């Protein structure tokens, strides 16, 4: 049996939205899967688990930017549209392409802290991996 | 943020930001100058730390939090009058800081006394700055 060395990495993704790169607009980005689970107990008493279809959401904290080039401003205007995000991981970990539905982001927040908005956007279908 | 608010010029930026909001006769030193023989209240800017966090939250790439200690020193050395002037001076400085953008002071200011006898206050100030100038604002 081979010993596989795990190539773990520091998570430092780059994010392209449409044709532009917005990496510095986010921290802690993630594509989060949710899978429903049920289990039934049959007549013999055995528990049989089932899983449903996985859905995904794109989560992050966005640094608000309401200037002309700001993503926060752009998303407030683009509510309900679908946009493509290319989520590139370091090295040869690859690129995940997702299509998300845009929602407006929170304005403001804590005083004397950098203005951030929590992001949670539904992903259409599944992430598509490609080599980087 | 103004295009001048970059890390390499942040001491001068802080001076330029607060100087117009202070009483006109005050002096502001943007460097670690040895205290001169004072005749008017003076603010000394001590640049003490750079950080990639504000309020425990990491900053975006290109943003830097610069920490300062501002020391406001009055020329008087003793007596109730001197203490009154020192307290009035810190109030003026706090009001100037409250009226400035992209910085905040606190959480607390502490009183100090120089070896030469002058009274003053020391206020921590955090300035949000960037490694390169913003081009779009």
Which residue in the set B60, B104, B106 is minimally distant from A63, CB to CB? B60
Query: H helices of chain B, where?
Result: 10-18, 79-98
Give me the tens of pLDDT residue by residue for chain A, a chain 132 residues long: 899 999 999 999 999 999 999 999 999 999 999 999 999 999 999 999 999 999 999 999 999 999 999 999 999 999 999 999 999 999 999 999 999 999 999 999 999 999 999 999 999 999 999 998
What kind and span of H or E run contains B6? none
Q: Please indicate whether, in this complex, the C-beta atoms of B54 and A113 are within 8 angstroms of each other.
A: yes
Q: What is the pTM of this model?
A: 0.84
Which residue in the set A24, A26, A67 is minimally distant from B62, CB to CB? A24
Residue B20 lies in a domain: yes
List of chain A residues whose C-beta atoms are within 8 Å of the C-beta of residue B63: 63, 114
Tell me how close the Cα of B29 comes to any Cα of chain A, in angstroms. Answer: 25
Q: Please indicate whether, in this complex, the C-beta atoms of B60 and A113 are within 8 angstroms of each other.
A: no
Residue B17 lies in a domain: yes
The ipTM estimated for the assembled molecules is: 0.78
Whether the upstream peptide bond of residue B137 has omega within 30° of 0, thus cis, is: no
First to last CA, chain A: 29
- Low-confidence stretches of chain B (pLDDT < 50) are 137
Rounded Cα distance between B119 and A54, Å, is: 66
Torsion of CA A56, A57, A60, A66, to 10 degrees: 140
Tell me how close the Cα of B115 comes to any Cα of chain A, in angstroms. Answer: 34
Residue B135 lies in a domain: no
Q: Please indicate whether, in this complex, the C-beta atoms of A114 and B54 are within 8 angstroms of each other.
A: yes
- Look at residue B35 in the predicted model and tell me its pLDDT: 66
Nearest CA in chain A to B107: A112
- Look at residue B136 in the predicted model and tell me its pLDDT: 54
CATH number at residue B55: 3.30.2000.10
Nearest CA in chain B to A64: B60
Which of B52, B59, B60, B97 is the mutation pick for testing A, counting most A CBs within 10 A? B60
Torsion of CA A84, A121, A96, A13, to 10 degrees: 110
Q: Please indicate whether, in this complex, the C-beta atoms of B128 and A110 are within 8 angstroms of each other.
A: no
User: In chain B, how many domains are there?
Assistant: 1
- Counted across chains A and B, CB pairs separated by less than 8 A come out at 32
Any residues with CB less than 8 A from the CB of A124 and at least 6 apart, and which? A82, A98, A99, A100, A101
Q: Give the residue numbers spanning the domain of B117.
A: 7-130
- Would residue A131 be called left, alpha or beta, if left means φ above 0 and alpha means ψ between -120 and 50 degrees? beta
Any residues with CB less than 8 A from the CB of A5 and at least 6 apart, and which? none
Pairing verdict, β B53-54 and B57-58: antiparallel
Q: Where are the domains of chain A?
A: 14-39+47-130
Residue B136 lies in a domain: no
Residue B137 lies in a domain: no
């Amino acid at each position: 049996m081979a010993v596989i060395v795990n190539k773990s990495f520091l998570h430092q993704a780059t994010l392209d939205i449409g044709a532009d790169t917005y990496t510095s607009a986010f921290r802690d980005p993630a594509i989060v899967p949710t899978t429903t689970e049920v289990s039934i107990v049959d007549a013999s008493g055995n528990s049989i688990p089932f899983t449903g279809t996985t859905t995904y959401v794109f989560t992050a904290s966005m640094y608000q930017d309401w200037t002309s080039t700001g993503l926060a401003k752009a998303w407030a205007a683009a509510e309900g549209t679908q946009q493509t995000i290319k989520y590139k991981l370091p090295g040869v970990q690859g690129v995940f392409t997702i299509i998300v539905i845009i929602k407006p982001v929170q304005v403001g927040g804590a005083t004397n802290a950098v203005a951030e908005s929590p992001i949670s956007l539904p992903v259409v279908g599944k992430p598509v991996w490609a080599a980087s | 943020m103004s295009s001048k608010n970059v890390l390499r010029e942040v001491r001068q930026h802080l001076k330029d930001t607060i100087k117009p909001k202070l009483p006109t006769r005050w002096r502001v030193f943007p460097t670690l100058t040895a205290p001169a023989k004072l005749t008017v209240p003076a603010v000394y800017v001590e640049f003490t730390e750079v950080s990639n966090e504000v309020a425990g939250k990491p900053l975006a790439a290109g943003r830097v939090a610069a920490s300062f200690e501002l020391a406001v020193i009055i020329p008087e050395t003793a007596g109730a009058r001197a203490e009154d002037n020192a307290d009035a001076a810190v109030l003026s400085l706090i009001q100037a800081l409250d009226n400035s953008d992209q910085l905040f002071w606190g959480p607390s200011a502490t009183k100090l006394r120089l070896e030469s006898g002058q009274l003053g206050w020391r206020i921590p100030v955090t300035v949000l700055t960037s490694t390169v100038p913003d081009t779009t604002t």
